[in-house]
Structure 1
Amino acid sequence: TLFSGIYIAIDPGPKGEEKLNFIGLDIPPVVTSDTPGRHFQLTAPRLGSLEYGSPIYFKGIKVGQVEGYQFSDKNKDLEIKVFIDAPYDRNVYDTTRFWFASGLDMVMDAKGVRIDTQSLVSMMIGGLAFSNPDQNIQGSPAKQGDVFPLFNSPEDAIAMRYTHKVYYLLKFNNSVRGLSIGAPVEFRGFPFGHVVDITLEQDWEHNRMKIPVKIEVEPERIEQLIKNNDAPHNGLENLVSHGLRAQLKTGNFITGGKYVAIDFFNNSPPASIVMHGDLIEIPTVPTSLDELTNDLTALLNKLSSIPLEEIGSATLDTIKSLNEAGISFRKAGDGISQIVSSSELEKAIHSLTLSLEQIQGLTSELEKELPSAINTVSKRTIATLGKIEKLTASDSDVVFELKRVLKEFARAAQSISRLADHLERHPESIIKGKGREY
Structure 2
Amino acid sequence: MPGSNDEPEIPDFPAADPMPRSRWRMQLVWLVPIVAVLIGGGLAVKAVLERGEKVSITFKTGEGLEAGKTKLKYKDVDIGVVEAVMLSPDQKHVVARAEVARDVAGLLVDNTRFWVVRPRVSGGTVSGLGTLLSGSYIDVDVGNAKKARRDFIGLEEPPVFASDMPGREFTLKSAGLGSLDVGSPVYFRRLQVGQIASYQLDKDGKGVTLKVFINAPYDRFVKIDTRFWHASGINMAFDSNGVRVETQSIVSVIIGGVAFESPPESQEETDAEPHAQFELYPSRTDAMKQHDRIIDKYVVNFTDSVRGLTVGAPVDFRGIVIGEVTAIYTRFDPTQRRFSIPVEIQIYPERFTSRFQNGRAEGRLGDDPRRTANALVENGFRFQLKSGNLLTGQLYIGMDYFPDAPKATIDWSRSPPELPAVPRTLQSVQDSVTRLLTKLNGIPFEAIGEDARTTLRTANSMISQLNTDVVPRAHDTLTSAQTMLNSANSALQPDSSLQQSTEEAMREMTRTAAALRTLADYLSRHPESLVRGKPEDKQ
* Interval containing the TM-score (normalised by the shorter chain): 0.5 to 0.7
Contact in 1 for aligned 2:349/2:365 (Cα 8 Å): no
- Select the structure of larger CA radius of gyration: 1
Match of 1:260 in 2: 397
Distance 1:192 1:335 in 2: 80
Relative distance call for 1:332 and 1:181 in structure 2 (3 A) is: same
Q: Could you say which residue in structure 2 is the equivalent of 1:154?
A: 284
Query: 1:167·1:279 contact (CA, 8 Å) conserved in 2?
Result: yes
Q: Provide the residue aligned with 2:163 in structure 1.
A: 33
Q: Contact 2:350–2:364 at 8 Å: present in 1 too? A: no
* Higher mean C-alpha displacement, 122-131 vs 67-76: 67-76
**After superposition, where does 1:299-318 map in structure 2 within 5 Å?**
299-318=436-455
1:164 aligned counterpart, secondary structure: coil
Q: How many Å apart are 1:89 and its aligned residue?
A: 0.9
Structure 1 unaligned regions, length at least 5? 341-438
In the alignment, which of 166, 169, 172 is matched to residue 299 of structure 2? 169
Worse-superposed segment, 114-123 or 182-191: 114-123
- 8 Å contact from structure 2 (residues 366, 372) kept in 1: no
1:340-395 deviation digits (Å, cap 9, x = unpaired): 9xxxxxxxxxxxxxxxxxxxxxxxxxxxxxxxxxxxxxxxxxxxxxxxxxxxxxxx
Q: Which residue does the alignment assign to 2:387?
A: 250
CA offsets 1:192-211 (integer angstroms, 9 cap, x no match):
22111111122344443211
Cα displacement (A) at 1:7: 3.4
SS of alignment partner, residue 350 of structure 2: coil
Tell me which amino acid in the other structure corresponds to 1:291.
S
Q: How many Å apart are 1:261 and its aligned residue? A: 1.0
Instruction: Determine which structure has the larger helix proportion and give its number.
Output: 1
Q: Distance in 2 between matches of 1:45 and 1:30?
A: 23
Q: Counterpart in 1 of 2:125?
A: none
1:78 & 1:131 partners in 2: Cα distance? 21
Within a 5 Å distance, the mapping from 1:15-414 to structure 2 comes to 24-71=154-201, 77-104=207-234, 117-138=247-268, 140-159=270-289, 161-223=291-353, 227=364, 232-326=369-463
| Number of aligned residues | 335
SS at match of 1:191: strand
Identity across the alignment (%): 39
- Residue 96 of structure 1, CA deviation: 1.5
Q: Which amino acid aligns with 1:141?
A: D
Change (3 A) 1:146 1:328: closer
Per-residue Cα deviation, 1:367-425 (whole angstroms, up to 9, x for no partner): xxxxxxxxxxxxxxxxxxxxxxxxxxxxxxxxxxxxxxxxxxxxxxxxxxxxxxxxxxx
State the 1:270 CA deviation. Answer: 2.8
Whole-Å separation in 1 of the counterparts to 2:365 and 2:205 = 36
Residues in 2 aligned to 1:213 and 1:175: alpha-carbon distance in whole angstroms: 12
What one-letter code is carried by the residue in structure 2 that aligns with 1:7?
Answer: S
RMSD: 3.6
Q: Which amino acid aligns with 1:149?
A: E
Cα distance in structure 2, aligned partners of 1:107 and 1:180: 20
Higher RCO (CA 8 Å, separation ≥ 6 residues): 1
Judged with a 3 Å threshold, the aligned counterparts in structure 2 of structure 1 residues 130 and 86 are, in CA distance, closer, same or farther, namely: same
Normalised by the length of structure 1, the TM-score is 0.66
Q: Deviations over 1:126-174 (max 9, x none)?
A: 2212121354442511122222233333344344721321111111111
Superposed displacement of residue 67, structure 1:
0.9
Going from structure 1 to structure 2, the CA distance change for 1:325 and 1:78 (only over 3 Å counts) comes to: closer
CA distance in 1, matches of 2:394, 2:275: 42
CA contact (8 A) 1:168 1:279 kept: yes
1:215: how far off? Answer: 0.8
Indicate if the aligned counterparts of 2:173 and 2:207 stay in contact, CA closer than 8 A: yes
| Structure 1 residue 7 corresponds to structure 2 residue 136 | yes
SS of the aligned residue for 1:303 comes to: helix
- The gaps in structure 2 that reach 5 residues or longer are 1-118, 121-128, 478-539
